[in-house]
Chains A and B, each alone.
Chain A
Amino acid sequence: MSLGRDYSGIPGEDRIEAIDPLAAGAPAEPVTSGSSIGGPRGPEGGDLSVAPRSQWFLFRRRFLRHRPAIVAIVVLVLLLALCFGAGLLERFTSLVAPQGQQNLELGAVGPSGAHWFGTDQLGRDYFSEMLYAGRTSLLIGLVVALLSTVIGTTIGAIAGYFGGIYDQILMRLTDLFLVLPSLIVLALALRYFGGSVVVIEFVLAALFWMGLARIVRAQVRSIKEKEFIEAARAGGASSWRIIGRHVLPNCIGPIVVAATLAVVQAILVESALSYLGYGVRPPATSWGSMLSNAKGYFGTDQAYLIWFPGLAILITVLCVNFIGDGLRDAFDPKSRI
């Protein structure tokens, strides 16, 4: 089956199937990047009406067997729905308060029926604040994964396929990025460009593509030696067509798995940055910035202010990690059939 096709915009039963497990874990987007690099789609690229049954079926069966990954998908979908549906919940239920609504008289009170996660010093409902902050954290994870996958795949594919001088230049560039301490680059960039969410996303993406570039390069180099690549060349296919149609669709497994890792890295690094004071700036909030604000409360009755955002990050990252593990097993034909 070709995952790359699930995003070609052709409606159909199996497209929905294809999106299902991946969309929840969000790393499916990188797939788009994979095929967007490719050359022109041949006229016969359209036989998408065919159900890519068996191979896809095996993949799905292997994935579905990974129980932690299935649970992770459910949890992550719920989390996404809650965070991005917070606006709706606020309008139609009393569970969620408007963002930033203060109640100075109330102050900080522990978790209760009215305030599930309690309130902070300014009397803001902590549960609601967490949902709003979650949008930022999750969005950063997803966007960074998408961007870094595009960069990493492009660079890795060019270096791996064309080799020679291209390989030399691109891999030296990768080495340089690996040597530069990411924190210093981040802190400098954030100082210079300001701490807006978009800047954070771009800067993180610019720092997380190296691992993927190396993986894709290695994959491309091995696939390049396969006989079906020679067959395509003997048939007259151009290099770009070979990369897009024959090489990248066969690297999809490692790319998707690496993309899940990028989600994880992005969320964790953003929180660490926020802790050091270089993360998102008010009024925007993220779980990391909430933690940063609460870090003085350990050892007090308000310790719950530390627990909840941290747990949210832990659960999110854990879910993405489990999904990544499930995908790895499912893509790896060696893993228990």
Chain B
Amino acid sequence: MSSGEPILEVRDLSVTFATDDGPLQAVDRLSYTLRRGQSLAIVGESGSGKSVSSLAVLGLVSGRRTTVTGSVRFDGTELVGAPERQLREVRGRGISMVFQDALTSLNPVLKVGHQIAESIMVHQPRAERDAAAARRRVVELLDLVGIPDPVGRAELYPHEFSGGQRQRAMIAMALANDPAVLLADEPTTALDVTIQAQVLDVFERIQQRTDTALLLITHDLGVVAGVADEVLVMYAGARVEQADAGSLYERPSHPYTRGLLESLPRLDRPRGTTLGRIPGQPPALTHLPAGCSFGPRCTAFRPGVCDAEEIPTVEIAPGHLVRCVRIDEITDERATVASVERSATRVIDAPPLVRVHGLVKEFPIRRSRDVVHAVTDVSFEVPMGTTLGLVGESGCGKSTVARLLLRLIEATDGVIEIDGMDVRSLSARDLRRFRGVAQIVFQDPYASLNPRLTVRSIVGEPLALAGEPRSAIDGRVAELLDLVGLDPRSGNRYPHEFSGGQRQRIGIARALARDPRLVVLDEPVSALDVSIQAGVVNLLTDLQERLGLTFVFIAHDLAVVRHISDTVAVMYLGHIVEHGPAEVLYEDPAHPYTQALLSANNIPDPIIERARRRIILEGDVPSPVTPPTGCVFHTRCPIAEPRCAIEEPPLVEHTPGHRVACHHPGPLPVDISRR
């Protein structure tokens, strides 16, 4: 299929924004060719220019302070500098876009069906517009992307759709005029993994059925491995490597690409490896370094060579392009920090530091007798010095558990015991002591630090509140900053002066201020780019070993959880459905939900990824206000039977130390999975 005729040819596309700090080069001479029926993925971290480049293709970056140069030819027609009228004909008809956030990308006050019909009608000459035909086509499209009851759903507003359905409606809208190119900008990033699997499945079917070319913009190397024929890696606005998917994953050649792949935690790799990490931060696009923009972070950097004038792009194998001046010399060198083996198996028979039994949290709904069943009958123990990974999709109650553990919110029922303290009935005095024993690190590195305070005030606040003298605090703050890998002299600076990864380190330093025994980590790396994430993950494992910390690690990314956890609990709709040692749970998952979750997570290797058996769960997570009767998972379970709707399965031992809440634990029968 990749031998189709070229449909979209991009040559030396550059986008520059004039800013107060000088020109910002968002895209630097990007070139690629997309053929009919082909799928090309542009991969990069935040700020790599991948999204801007895709908007520039459609002429959607404009404004007085923006300059776009180069050439974009769609089906032989030049689009850069083309009049608005001509661009409008291409938009939505020749090339159509799927945006990341379907909730904000659909007009909230117009019905979904109307918006899709509009996309069809604006491309018809006024005289030939046929509203009835458009409506029929809308229903057909909604059906194509797998939306149940398409006739009724077309009459609903975007907010009445679930997240996954909205994204599919966006895809339906993009397909409305049978475009030659489908440009998808992070189409699954905002979605949970099981929903992501549904959406990727839609893309796959489209590609099988039509010769629509797919341009996929993403940061997720796992998604790419499953979908793309060809991959283009961007860094700081420029292409650093391009190859067909197979060669790129097998023989990543640019130091950046290699670093990325090494820093990625993988679902198919057991605990015990240190992730490779790329040191430093991406450069400011207003002040790009001379020569190779990856130079300052590259271990193969050679002064006078890499920072000289212009870095050429060389073809190291047919169709495999690399922008590296030292490519011939470094092919055998390891580009980044080597992975170091760590003790893989750890003793987890230490006495428990955390004991949770029968934990329940219900949130009342204002002006209603209903409640949100956020956490229902959750019990687990965390042995001292180990990590419990708590995984599940959004809304499963995992973050609520975190807040309950720290008593940031009050539980409705149940027992929480941490370090011998009965957390739910602490006196004011004991609560102050408890604050020194259990601490938390939050997800959002931007929202979790008070922007008005200096780093010293932030990190030192728990100490100040504990009554430490000022002089002691200053010394301790410097020590803590050093501990988390920051300059100990940076206490006088403000949070906004730091990058996301550094901010997360500040958050960790604050949590460690009073030498806690338990640290709850609530999605600590999910807001970070891959190359930054690895550094934080390594820091956490390192701190745990040095300080003997106990972690409760909450995440939706199963690969990261596998990398860091000793035991793992899977949550669904407020319940723990499976709980056991990480190796057991990942190798022999017994609950159908765990199996679906694992199969929906992509592995950054096209060969493995395409050979994997994928379980796609139908539908969406039910509302926690009215959870299903019986087994909460039965509405989406591929092996549910009538009994599951009536009788709630208890969380019982399946094998020693491995608990499962299912009437039919064990591997799913082969015939229910696709491909």
A–B contact (CB under 8 angstroms): yes
Interface string of A310-337 (1 = CB under 8 A from B): 0000000000000000000000000001
- Assess whether A134 is interfacial by the CB under 8 Å rule: no
* Total number of A residues with any Cβ neighbor in B under 8 Å: 31
Could you say which of A87-95, A146-154, A229-237 contacts chain B? A229-237
Chain A CB count within 10 A is highest, among B492, B497, B513, for: B492
Query: Given the complex of chains A and B, what is the CA–CA distance between A2 and B451 in angstroms?
Result: 9
Any A CB within 8 A of the CB of B623? no
The answer to whether residues A235 and B448 also contact, given A47-B454, A47-B492 and a CB cut-off of 8 A, is: no
Interface size band for B: 35 or more
Complex contact A235–B507 (CB within 8 A): no
Binary contact readout B385-424 vs A (1 if CB under 8 angstroms, 0 otherwise): 0000000000000000001001010000000000000000
B440 at the interface (CB under 8 A from A): yes
> Distance in Å from the Cβ of A336 to the closest Cβ of chain B?
9
Over the window 50-79 of chain B, the binary record of Cβ atoms lying under 8 Å from chain A Cβ atoms (1 yes, 0 no) is 000000000000000000000000000000
Whether A42 sits at the interface, judged by CB under 8 Å, is: yes
Instruction: Known A1-B494, A227-B442, A230-B408; judge A235-B450 contact (CB<8 A).
Output: no
When the two chains form their complex, are residues B448 and A231 in contact, meaning their CB atoms are under 8 A apart? Answer: yes
Who on chain B is nearest to A42 by CB? B464
A52: nearest chain-B partner, CB-CB? B494
Chain A, residues 200-238, CB within 8 Å of chain B (1/0): the string is 000000000000000000000000001110111111110
Q: How far is the CA of A97 from the CA of B443 in the complex (A)?
A: 67
Smallest beta-carbon distance A119→chain B, Å = 52
Once A42-B464, A337-B19 are accepted as A-B contacts, the answer to whether A54 and B442 lie under 8 Å apart by CB is no
Residues of chain A within 8 A (CB-CB) of B466 are 236
Which listed segment binds A: B196-204, B218-226, B455-463? B455-463
Structural contact, A230 and B442, CB atoms closer than 8 A: yes
Give chain B nearest CB distance to A23 CB in angstroms: 20
Which of A44, A55, A227 contacts B473 (CB under 8 A)?
A44
Within 8 A of A (CB), among B501-557: 507, 510, 513
A50 at the interface (CB under 8 A from B): yes
Residues of the B chain whose Cβ atoms lie less than 8 Å from the Cβ of A2: 452-453
Q: B457 touches which one: A4, A45, A54, A250 (CB < 8 A)?
A: A45
A237 and B461 contact, Cβ closer than 8 Å, known pairs A61-B20, A231-B442:
yes
Chain B residues, CB < 8 A from A283:
none
A246 interface hit (Cβ, 8 Å): yes
Complex Cα spacing A220 to B548, Å: 38
How far apart are B431's CB and chain A's nearest CB, in angstroms? 8
Whether A234 and B439, one on each chain, are in contact in the complex, defined by CB atoms closer than 8 angstroms, is yes
Beta-carbon contact of B465 and A42 below 8 Å: yes
* Bound form: Cα–Cα A226–B444 in Å: 9
- Complex alpha-carbon distance, A88 and B638, angstroms: 89
User: Does A27 sit at the interface, judged by CB under 8 A?
Assistant: no
Instruction: Give every chain A residue within 8 A of B444 (Cβ-Cβ).
Output: 227
Is A249 interfacial (CB 8 A cutoff)? Answer: yes
The distance from the CB of A43 to the nearest CB of chain B, in whole angstroms, is: 5
User: A43, B469: Cβ atoms under 8 Å?
Assistant: yes
Q: Please give, as numbers and ranges, the residues of chain A lying within 8 Å of B406 by CB-CB distance.
A: 234
Neighbour of A250 across the interface among B435, B452, B465, CB < 8 A: B452
Asked if A231 contacts B510 (CB within 8 A), the reply is yes
Complex Cα spacing A225 to B353, Å: 29
Shortest B11–chain A CB gap in Å is: 31
Give A270 to B536 CA distance when docked, in angstroms: 60
The one of A47, A52, A235 in contact with B456, judged by C-beta atoms closer than 8 angstroms, is: A47
Query: Is there a chain A Cβ closer than 8 Å to B334's Cβ?
Result: no
The chain A residue with its CB closest to the CB of B514 is: A235
Interface centre among A50, A234, A337 (most CB of B within 10 A): A234
Does chain A have a CB within 8 A of B570? no
Query: In the assembled complex, how far is the CB of residue B300 from the closest CB belonging to chain A, in whole angstroms?
Result: 33
Measured CB to CB, the closest approach of chain A to B664, in angstroms, equals 40
Taken together as a complex, chains A and B put the C-alpha atoms of A44 and B497 apart, in Å, by 20
Contact of B452 with A231 in the complex, beta carbons under 8 Å = no
In the complex formed, the residue of A with least CB distance to B65 is A336
Do residues A231 and B507 form an inter-chain contact, with CB atoms below 8 A? yes
Chain B residue with Cβ nearest A62? B20
Given contacts A44-B460, A231-B440, A337-B20, contact A55 B451 (CB under 8 A): yes
Q: Are A44 and B448 in contact (CB under 8 A)?
A: no
Whether A50 pairs with B454 at a CB distance below 8 angstroms is yes
With a CB–CB cut-off of 8 A, which chain A residues contact B443? 227
Would you give the shortest CB distance from A4 to chain B, in whole angstroms?
8
Please determine whether B449 and A235 come into contact, CB atoms closer than 8 angstroms. no
* Complex alpha-carbon distance, A237 and B510, angstroms: 13
A241-276 interface mask toward B, CB cutoff 8 Å, 1 = contact, 0 = none? 100011001100000000000000000000000000
Chain B CB within 10 A, most for which of A4, A44, A46, A233: A44
Q: Could you tell me if B448 and A228 are in contact, using CB atoms closer than 8 angstroms?
A: yes
* Interface assignment of B344: CB less than 8 Å from any CB of chain A: no
The answer to the question of B610 belonging to the interface, with a C-beta cut-off of 8 Å to chain A, is no
The CA-CA distance from A88 to B465 in the complex, in Å, is 52
| Alpha-carbon separation in the docked complex, A230 to B453 (Å) | 15
The answer on a CB contact under 8 Å between A227 and B448 is: yes
With contacts A42-B457, A44-B470, A50-B492 taken as known, whether A230 is within 8 angstroms of B450 at the C-beta atoms is no
B443, B457, B513 pick with most chain A CB within 10 angstroms? B457
Contact indicator B452/A233 (Cβ below 8 Å): no
**Does B496 have its Cβ within 8 Å of any Cβ on chain A?**
yes
Are B435's CB and A235's CB within 8 A?
Answer: yes
Task: Report B-chain residues with C-beta under 8 Å of the C-beta of A230.
Answer: 403, 408, 440, 442
**Beta-carbon contacts of B426-444 to A below 8 Å, as 1s and 0s?**
0000011001000110111
B447 at the interface (CB under 8 A from A): yes
- Check if B450 sits within 8 Å of A228, measured CB to CB: yes
Which chain B residues numbered 459 to 508 have a C-beta less than 8 Å away from chain A?
460-462, 464-466, 469-470, 473, 492, 494, 496-497, 507
A52-72 vs B: 1/0 string, CB under 8 Å? 101100000100000000000
CB-based contact B457/A228 at 8 Å: no
CA distance A164 to B442 in the complex (A): 26
Instruction: List B residues 102-118 near A (Cβ within 8 Å).
Output: none
Q: How far is the CA of A246 from the CA of B460 in the complex (A)?
A: 14
Q: How far is the CB of B236 from chain A (nearest CB, A)?
A: 20
- With contacts A44-B464, A44-B470, A54-B496 known, is A1 near B452, CB below 8 A? yes
The smallest beta-carbon distance between B152 and chain A, in angstroms, is 35
List residues of chain A with CB within 8 A of the CB of B473.
43-44
A82→B216 CA distance, assembly (Å): 65
Which residue among B20, B444, B453 has the maximum number of chain A CB atoms within 10 Å of its CB? B453
B510 to A, closest residue via Cβ: A231
Q: Apart from A47-B457, A237-B461, what 15 extra A-B contacts exist at CB < 8 Å?
A: A1-B452, A2-B453, A43-B464, A43-B469, A44-B460, A44-B461, A44-B473, A50-B454, A54-B497, A227-B448, A236-B431, A237-B465, A245-B453, A249-B452, A250-B450
The 3 closest A-B pairs by CB, nearest first: A235-B462, A227-B448, A236-B435
Residues of A within 8 A of B (CB): 1-2, 4, 42-47, 50, 52, 54-55, 61, 226-228, 230-237, 241, 245-246, 249-250, 337
Measuring CB to CB, which residues of chain B are less than 8 angstroms from any residue of chain A? Answer: 19-20, 403, 406, 408, 431-432, 435, 439-440, 442-444, 447-454, 456-458, 460-462, 464-466, 469-470, 473, 492, 494, 496-497, 507, 510, 513
Could you list 28 examples of A-B contacts with CB < 8 Å? A1-B494, A2-B452, A43-B470, A43-B473, A44-B456, A44-B461, A46-B470, A47-B492, A50-B454, A50-B492, A226-B447, A227-B443, A228-B449, A230-B408, A231-B442, A231-B510, A232-B450, A232-B461, A233-B408, A234-B435, A234-B440, A235-B462, A235-B513, A236-B465, A236-B466, A241-B465, A249-B450, A250-B450
